Amino acid sequence: MKEEEASENEPQGFTNTLNQSLGGDQGAISEYFYNFENDVNATFFRYNPNLMANYNTYMDYYSLFGEDPTRMSFRTFPNHLLAMTSADESEFTERNYIDSLSVADSVVYDSVQMTSTPFKNLESLEWNLEAEPSLQRYKLVNSDWIVSDTMLFYNDTFDVSAYWAVVDTPFIDNGLLFVDSSEWNDTDYVFISDEPLRFLNTFDFIKQQLSTDSLVFRNNTDCNDNGIWDGSEVVIADYNGNGVYEVLYEYSDNNNNGEYDSGDDLIQDYDGNGEISVAYEFEDRGNGVWDPQEPYYDIDSSGTYDLNEPYQDRNCNNKWDDAEVYVDSDNSGTYTSGEDFTDRGNNLYDEEEEFTLKDANADGLEDTLLYVIGDKPDNLIVDWSDPMAPDVRLEINLGDDITSRWGTVYTDLIEEIDFYDLKQQFVDDVDSLVTLFTREEVGHINDPAASLSPDDYYITKSEWTKTAGGQTERFYNYHIFHEPGHLNQIIYPSYFLPVGFYFSPNDIEDGFWHKKNLESEVLYYTSNGYLRDGEMVDTSYYDTTEISVYFIEKSYEVESESVTVPAGHRVSMDEPAPDTTFADCFKVTQTVTMTMVGSGVDFGQRTVSWLAKNKGLVKSEVYIRWTEHPYDSDYTQNNSYLDTLNQAWVGLNRIELTSVDIQSENSVFRALTKPVRTVKLKDVGDHPDFDFDPFYINTQSGIQTLDLRELGE
């Protein structure tokens, strides 16, 4: 279910130029994309993600391999239409008023259902012990979706009028329309007032969420663990001259006994103190207090730390540290205040400690807090209420309090707040209702020269192969278009899934999940059938699916721009295809951002296409991005393609035209010799003209097929 945002609620900066006069270059969409009544056979070079990232141009690839990239063919089927809607069969005639069925000031009792924004309560945090140690973090355990609704009742007063006619509008210019004089059909026309009815309702919830302290996202920067800010450690000397301050071993410990002896090789007495051990290039400061062992969760109850066990890294050295050595002068078996101890550093050169500024404290000064906020909940929480037995918290529940080592108390790590969700909804205010009774339409004979209806649906097809390990695999896809004003594409709407739903793209088809029913979406916006330089259209809406609520944002931009592709005439297949520059061309950029409401994780898809006059699509590139990649974190951040918002994109697919043959069909001759045949969607795979290839659910953009599995090839 898609919930379109009202225009007055659209974010600032949303643009729609369709009803504006732009004054730049323009061209009919049928001349720059395809006229689907023509027989089109085009061939493209198809670059998968690896080829796209490493070879910016066709010549880059050909110069290295001496052969063409994978070829993809594209063709239309002008003699076939997809039977998805009935044809428009109508004729305008005079309407006759029916007094007995008409009512003035009719009162209708109606209602509107208002629904709150769905959200999930955070019920607990659980440390994921099953992941690799470096990838362990807290999992957010959420409730089911929480949503409320209410029904508001109101009265709507309007006039009801009834008419009869032979047929409804619009009329036909040519041919004959047969009607059944014994049957009537009725059609209602609703006329809406300019001002809609506005309804407001506030939903009141108690919401559970992570507290503003966000302890699980904090990365410790107090690397000498003294609870106060420190500047950089004092530098002694860069003994080995490598520009890095570090701890240098002056010998090779061949027998691994931790000291220099006759079995070891001398490297160098870096600090010149006459002792062969280790040389510090900086003063590795401690904190002036005795430090116990770093708290850890003893998975196997062995009483000793193992490498697979989570721990609280208090000195930023990315390894577990035991307690500092001390002299047990009172033989108590535990450290006693005042006893001598070795104040140990972390064996790393520490720069000036980073910090986070918070609100002003009681003295009017900003608190300097020794942490930075990360993007993953991987800070292991430890309660130091008992300093001699710190408690590692693998699970955090509602209302839990935590005391830090230095006595700071954090209350309600998961807190409850009052959440007010103000919703408004607009309902059409019916001004009048007109019912038109017409005869049953039986059939319509068109004049042979008549063109197809603009609401017809057209089948096209792309095909390509992949070769790996000596095996060649054939791929294909159907692309369905129709032109009800703009150029639309019929697709199965596809959506990304966040982390936790699958661990490789093979787990769920092509890396997306799809709705079960075909839907029509605008591929290219046009103004009265024309592409225009400077056209910009921004849209947004909420889409409620069985998996989640997604907030969809789409931007569309057209520019007049030349493009160069390897579509020149080649004398021989042994020679590379020469470049051809198309000057009369439109560049269309379409960006989709899909945000999963609640988690905040979003997926982006950007398609950049160049359409040349009388050649159709000549080049198209698809890029994608994640805020958190669903199955491979290496793809989360990528600097290969940054847009103006500094967002990182990964190239998924590129096609470049290499040849095209367009045969214009004679409408009169075709109608007489090869009349258009209707093909049902389920029967496409049984038809020889389509190579017996069945239609299948997939993700596509224009004539490109999107498959995240190609990222791993």
pLDDT digits (tens, 9 = 90+) for 349-367: 999 988 888 765 555 545 6
Which tens digit of pLDDT belongs to each residue from 415-449? 999 999 999 998 888 888 888 877 655 333 343 43
> Is 655 found in the same domain as 690?
yes
Is residue 528 in a domain?
yes
335 lies in some domain: no
Q: Say yes or no to pLDDT of 179 above 50.
A: no
The CA distances from residue 624 to 14, 514, 589, 649, 704, in Å, are 22, 17, 13, 5, 14
Residue 709 or residue 311, greater confidence: 311
Rama region for 618: left / alpha / beta (φ>0; ψ in -120 to 50; rest): alpha
DSSP-assigned states of every residue in 73-135: EEEEEEEEEE-SSPPP-------EE-GGG-EEEEEEEEEEEEEPPPB--EEEEEE-TTS-GGG
- Same domain membership, residue 585 and residue 490: yes
Q: Could you tell me if 82 and 127 lie in one domain?
A: no
In whole angstroms, what is the distance from residue 335 CA to residue 371 CA?
Answer: 29
- H/E element holding 478? strand 471-482
Do 79 and 151 share a domain, yes or no? no
Tell me the per-residue pLDDT of 477-524, one tens digit each, with 9 for 90 and over: 878 887 777 898 877 788 876 655 654 555 555 567 777 767 778 999
Radius of gyration over alpha carbons of the chain, in Å? Answer: 35
Nearest to 43 by CA among 679, 656, 666: 656
Residue 338 lies in a domain: no
Q: pLDDT tier at 526 (50, 70, 90 boundaries)?
A: very high
Q: Is 65 helix (H, G, I), strand (E, B) or coil?
A: helix
Bridge partner list, 125: 140, 396
State the average pLDDT over residues 118-144: 92
Domain region containing 198:
96-211+421-431
pLDDT, position 670: 40
Question: Tokens in use for 595?
Answer: 């945000």
Is the confidence at residue 297, as pLDDT, over 60?
A: yes
Asked if 506 and 649 sit in the same domain, the reply is yes
Residue 467 is predicted with a pLDDT of: 78
Both 109 and 205 in one domain: the answer is yes
| 64 part of a folded domain | yes
- d(CA 616, CA 588) in angstroms, rounded, equals 13
357-391 exposure pattern, b = at least 16 Cβ within 10 A, e = fewer: eeeeeeeeeeeebbbeeeeebbbbbbbbeeeeebe
Mean pLDDT computed over 239-256: 90
Last residue of a domain, one of 381, 406, 431: 431
Q: Indicate the pLDDT class of residue 83, thresholds 50, 70 and 90.
A: very low
- Under the banding of pLDDT at 50, 70 and 90, the label for residue 198 is very high
Asked whether the beta carbons of 622 and 606 are under 8 A apart, the reply is yes
Q: pLDDT value at position 400?
A: 92
C-alpha 13/C-alpha 537 separation (Å) is 11
Residues in the chain: 713
Task: Supply the pLDDT for residue 696.
Answer: 65
Is residue 334 in a domain?
no
Per-residue model confidence as pLDDT tens digits over 566-595: 998 888 888 899 999 999 999 999 999 988
DSSP string, 652-682: EEEEEEEEEEEE---HHHHHHHS--EEE-GG
Tell me, yes or no, whether 515 and 645 share the same domain: yes
Q: Is pLDDT above 70 for 645?
A: no
Estimate to the nearest angstrom the gap between the alpha carbon of 83 and the chain centroid: 33
> Which residues are 201's β-sheet partners?
423
pLDDT at residue 38 tops 90 = no
pLDDT at 527: 92
Assigned domain for 39 exists: yes
pLDDT category at 188 given cuts 50, 70, 90 is: confident
* Out of 28-37, 74-83, 290-299, 561-570, least confident range: 74-83
Q: Residues 6 or more apart from 373 whose CB is under 8 A from it?
A: 214, 217, 218, 219, 356
Which range among 45-59, 83-97, 128-142 shows the weakest confidence by mean pLDDT? 83-97
Q: Specify the pLDDT at position 79.
A: 65
User: Percentage of the chain with pLDDT > 70?
Assistant: 79
Whether the per-residue pLDDT at 336 is higher than 60: the answer is yes
18 falls within a domain: yes
Q: Which of 387, 408, 431 is the last residue of a domain?
A: 431
Nearest to 246 by CA among 294, 280, 270: 280
Which residue in this structure is represented by tokens 């103006």?
Answer: 644
174 and 203 fall within a common domain: yes
Residue 361 falls inside a structural domain: no
Query: What pLDDT was estimated at residue 678?
Result: 52
Mean per-residue pLDDT, 298-325: 92
What are 106-128's pLDDT values in tens digits?
888 889 999 999 999 999 999 99
Same domain (yes/no): 107, 65: no
> What is the total count of domains within the chain?
2
First to last CA, the chain: 35
174 in the same domain as 156: yes
- pLDDT tens string 670-707: 433 344 455 555 566 666 666 666 666 778 888 888 88
61: left (phi > 0), else alpha (psi -120 to 50), else beta? Answer: alpha
Boundary (domain end) residue, out of 405, 431, 457? 431
What span, in angstroms and rounded, lies between the C-alpha atoms of 321 and 346? Answer: 9
82 and 116 fall within a common domain: no
DSSP 8-state code for residue 499: T
Considering the chain, what percentage of its residues have pLDDT values greater than 90?
Answer: 38
Is the same domain home to 61 and 134? no
Q: Quick: pLDDT tens for 361-399.
A: 555 545 678 889 888 999 999 999 998 899 999 999 998
